[in-house]
Structure 1
Amino acid sequence: MSGATVDIERHKRHILLKEIGGPGVQKLRGAALSMVGAGALGGPCALYLAAAGVGRLEIWDDDVVDRSNLQRQVQFGEGDVGQPKAETLASKLQAAHPDTQVSWHRHRWSESHPLAGDILIDASDNFPTRYALNAAAHASRRALVHGAAAGWSGQVSVFTSGLKPGAPCYRCWVPETPPDAEACDEVGVVGAMTGMVGAAMALETVKLITGAGAPLIGRILLMDGLAGVQRTVKLKADASCSTCGSIHAD
């Protein structure tokens, strides 16, 4: 950050919160995050995290901006069509929030790629990547902030199976790819729902970094946009889980 006066002015609304305060702002400044996905979920999530003053943000995405993305990926505009998502998002974040160090990778993340962040953020749109990120988070003892959206529905959770005894991982919740799973470009989705999920993911990440409140560990927040309701469901660790089951077995 450029100076104490600017810091206080920019972040005073967080400083005023007793759950964050000055120490929490400093924790945000020292945080390093890795986010996979720069689209409908990753965009709003990254915008809020950079605005909160996170120190370092690593972005992975191999896609380019398509006009069909503009209905929900509010970080992009007409002038960005055809441009790589990771680089374009990183450039906009850096311009708006120069105190956040943003790095980007213009290729699909896989298990062979190391992740620099202390917290991992799953803003992907497919099950293979979700499972791979979940396994990486568990093996490296890092928290995984997960979000997903389709149609009028969304979900958000935090998985810490490698960190917290008894905590479930993503595969405890979804053991195998659902038989009716469809590709992202084959289903409709309400743009505002992806924004809600992305913002909730950023909120959970801020809570993890600052120690504020109760993150969604062992719980999943389910959003129903059509009915206008949200509910939280408790998740249990599965002793037969192929990712984390061995640590839960008696």
Structure 2
Amino acid sequence: AAADFAEREAEALQDFLRSSLLPSAAEVCSELDRAEGLVPRLQILAARWQSLTAQRAEHRRIAELIDAREALETDLRQFDAEASDPTRFKRRGYSGVQESKRRADYQRHLRMLDASLTASAGEWAQREGLSFCIGGAEYRGAEILPSEHTHMYAWTNKQLAQKQASKSFSCEFQPPARGSTPASARGAGPGLAGRSRAQREADGPPPLRRASTGTLPKSVSEASSRSSLADASRRPSAAKRAPLAGPAPGHPARRLSA
């Protein structure tokens, strides 16, 4: 019976070491491995029994707090998935007041668990000189998802997929900026937009484009009329521009009758 007890305690201590990574537990395991015979092993366990029992009990208590927090996270995730369903308003017996109260209860419970975990983990680190570890790793669940960020649970897998799809679509389709050349005009083609600068210079200036109706716009016609009138007013009259013609040589001048 004593040999079985020593064997069970040695195995339990190995499991505790793998989870907590405590140096004191590693030291006891090393002593048990070096001990020869049952009596030396029982003496080692008896000398460290009180401290080992206290350490394992405290580690188990904090681990239970962590399990409770993870279970509450699961409940919160399920609750927020239901609360984000727009069809819930049409369900019989739905109450927005009860939903808000339930959310407040979840968050209050989560804050209480986080406060207990923070205090217990701090005392553990101060007493043992090592951060609290579980499963062979330091516990950081309260830091990764604090209680004030529980609204993150509202994003279900379906909503995340839809959001990612909308991001991909917005990256693939972007309207051209104002003043930029459309993609169809940038491609090769007979127009000016598809030709290089050297080709456009070799072609010379483009011909003036006439209106499809064959008539000038009203504003252009009025401007042309005003320009013609101004030029006519600046030109000298025919009487001022040339002297009066005299009689031809060899012909007497005719007298005009009164």
Task: Identify whether the pair has TM-score above 0.5, normalized to the shorter chain.
Answer: no
The structure richer in helix per residue is 2
Between 1 and 2, higher relative CO (CA 8 Å, sep ≥ 6) is seen in 1
Which structure has more strand as a fraction of its residues? 1
Q: TM-score, normalised by structure 1?
A: 0.19
Which structure has the greater CA radius of gyration? 2
